[in-house]
Amino acid sequence: MQLGRNLHSALKQLRYSNRPRRLWVDAVCINQDDIDERNVQVMRMGATYSLATRVVIWLGSEAEDSTHTLSTIADFGEQVEFTVEGFLADAPGASEPMWWNPSQQCHTTPELGHLLTALLARPWFSRVWVIQEALLGSRQTIIQCGDAFIPWPPFRKAVLVMSQKEELPQELRNLTDTYRGNLLPRSHWSLFRLLLWT
């Protein structure tokens, strides 16, 4: 079977060295040359991802200090919590109170802004349907780059908050604005938002 370079590196990275690991990989598990099978399986994607023990979002190999960038995003995300109504508030024990407030400084240096932009510009983020896979996954969903990974929930919260920060470099603001609507809690999904996303 022919594998793309990114999938090859993902499979090498995600396998366990000491025990078997069972993975569902669309490109491998669905016969991409059989249109009928592919159409049937696409209709099952919601169930596949919502029933998975864990969804692994593979962004690619380590590059441009992505390990440090993921760690920073996780720290940002751990400063805030969503209420049931979809409002943002301080997380218990937050070291940066009010970080969720758009006027509160994000403390991004030009270098960090560049690293965040490089991470969010990776190809995974350009495909709309993959974000639904992350949203359908359990709270065990992770986002991984090389060896480094962080849980999806803090990543999601960090991007939502960063998208409202006035101090962000324009290129980074454009990227976070693009994802913001897709990452909002379901209570915020209107028909218009879903149509726009589609």
At 69-88, the pLDDT tens digits run 999 999 988 998 877 666 78
- Structure pTM? 0.80
Distances (CA, A) of 179 to 20, 120, 126, 133, 174: 35, 9, 9, 14, 9
Per the CB < 8 A criterion, the answer to whether 11 and 27 are in contact is no
Per the CB < 8 A criterion, the answer to whether 63 and 149 are in contact is no
Per the CB < 8 A criterion, the answer to whether 157 and 54 are in contact is no
pLDDT at 197: 59
pLDDT at 196: 65
The residues facing 60 across adjacent strands are: 145
Burial zone of 52 (CB within 10 Å; 0-12 exposed, 13-18 middle, 19+ buried):
middle
Calculate the average pLDDT of the chain.
83
Tens of pLDDT, residues 145-171: 999 999 988 888 888 888 877 777 878
pLDDT at 52: 85
pLDDT at 187: 56
Q: What average pLDDT score do residues 50-76 get?
A: 90
What backbone phi and psi angles, to 5 degrees, belong to 81? -135, 155
**DSSP string covering 78-116:** TTEEE-TTS-EEEPTT-SSTTTTSTTS-----HHHHHHH
Distance CA 127, CA 150 (A): 20
pLDDT at 58: 92
User: Domain coordinates of the chain in residue numbers?
Assistant: 56-197
pLDDT at 20: 93
The token pair at 82 is 């969503």
Q: What average pLDDT score do residues 51-68 get?
A: 90
Q: Which of 56-60, 82-86, 136-140 has the highest mean pLDDT?
A: 56-60
